[in-house]
Structure 1
């Protein structure tokens, strides 16, 4: 299994955008299966091979939809990926795709080329890894500048959901954000691609993973279940199996992306 240290987050080469949560790279140091945890986000990714300063080859752009369950990605040593992770509610608007249509799925090849048009050509024609990163960030910046993102009230609601680590109920978010429940539910599904329940469940899983694996004072499973917002330890175990394919007591070495979860 490739090491989590193969994954790194970076500053955008293009100016920072409210649509973007992080830019990242992954270079596989070993052959194996890379386990990707669900995070409810969309990513624009380019897979390729080639050392820094050398020509790139085997370039493949991908749009990865919001996920609810883990994915196992076979990689070979030297496989490289550069990506941009969008904030919830922004990925579909920037890339021109309905997030719900690619939940736990991705777009590549002709469907992606039709969707991105000249931007797909820009990504595919980059000559070096550095040029590829700049092309990716440039594409995202240009498209984000023209995208109509979520309404301010929905952005606030998403922040509330995040700040609670998925522990707030829908009626609580609706009351605090002053958005009718039906409106909130509809906009979350349209923007994020996941229902409120599914998105909150993913956030609880991500936050509880941090509670169990944090370097300083990790929580034991009983305390993590309570703090994570689960009804009991059995509930937490079921959700871990559903989202990650493992139990809280058998967490493998995994990447926890830099999501803004308190």
Structure 2
């Protein structure tokens, strides 16, 4: 039965649209958000910043062209993209009218759903066809053929639900400790002491790092850095009124200079340059829905 809770986040002129729907309760521990869009015009986003999602983008029209500083060889077009956790920005553009579907997976969800080690896709952009996964290939083919956004969301619910059920049928995955660690880091926006994370995970430091690499893709310390940076960019993009020194303190940096270094390292820009991006506004629109 089709769920009616598709929300239109924004609708522009000439047929552009951005829609989203909250995943059903059973999927929310594994899926943070999914959304769809259509746009009649080309789009350029010079800096898409690192965050803590594993992202799947399925394009219905023009391919997504990626400029990845970590992958030499020039820009590359993708019809269907899988992006692991990253330690720096990437540039994206569409050349012509576009539409598609984006699935934002929590790392543990991606680990269970994809059945691969997350370190294999960390800092990488992969065409979904390269995975050789017939079910995902079928989803890429079927989504554009569905007549409505609710039908597309229903199809994604069905595929994800079935894959998770099979993952759990294969046997209990050792994900509890990593999930607790991720929740602790996320709840503190990366400001919690790593030793406390290790203690509450019930693993040794070395074992937690190994499991994090397998199930998340990056070590806990880098995951915390990305969370702090993500908090800083969102607060800055929402019009933080108290200045950069106060922002640095609120986000757990030693000082303003430390925050600026992190912006350069993870984002390839200064805080001021970040505000010239169109993505902060889009991110604020989506996160206002509290997904």
State the TM-score, normalized to the length of structure 2. 0.74
Displacement of 1:184: 1.8
Cα distance change of structure 1 residues 232 and 30 upon mapping to structure 2, 3 Å threshold:
farther
Quick one: structure 1 residues 183 and 13, their matched pair in 2 at CA, closer, same or farther if it must change by over 3 Å? Answer: closer
In 1, Cα distance between equivalents of 2:92 and 2:242:
29
1:27 corresponds to = 38
| Other-structure match for 2:243 | 220
Alignment partner for residue 198 of structure 1, among 222, 235, 249?
A: 222
Change in CA separation of 1:117 and 1:193 when aligned onto 2, cut-off 3 Å? same
Instruction: Indicate whether 1:39 and 2:51 are aligned.
Output: yes
User: Aligned residue for 1:240?
Assistant: 263
Is residue 81 from structure 1 mapped to residue 110 from structure 2 by the alignment? Answer: no
**Structure 2 CA distance for aligned equivalents of residues 29 and 172 of structure 1:** 49
Confirm or deny: 8 A CA contact 1:40 1:88 kept in the other structure. yes
Note closer, same or farther for the CA distance 1:106–1:97 as it changes in structure 2 (3 Å cut): farther
- Range with greater deviation from structure 2 (247-256 or 39-48): 247-256
Cα 1:157–1:146 change in 2 (3 A) is same
Q: TM-score, normalised by structure 1?
A: 0.81
The runs of at least 4 consecutive aligned structure 1 residues that moved more than 4 Å come to: 4-8
Unaligned runs of 5+ in 1: 51-58
| Paired residues of 1:28 and 1:76 also in contact (CA < 8 A) | no
Q: Which segments of 5 or more consecutive residues in structure 2 lack a partner in the other structure?
A: 1-8, 11-16, 63-77
Q: CA RMSD in A?
A: 3.1
Residue 126 of structure 2: which of 107, 120, 123 is its match?
Answer: 107
Count of aligned residue pairs for this structure pair? 248
1:175-214 correspondence runs (5 A): 175-214=199-238
Q: Give 2:146's aligned residue.
A: 128
SS of 2:162's equivalent? helix
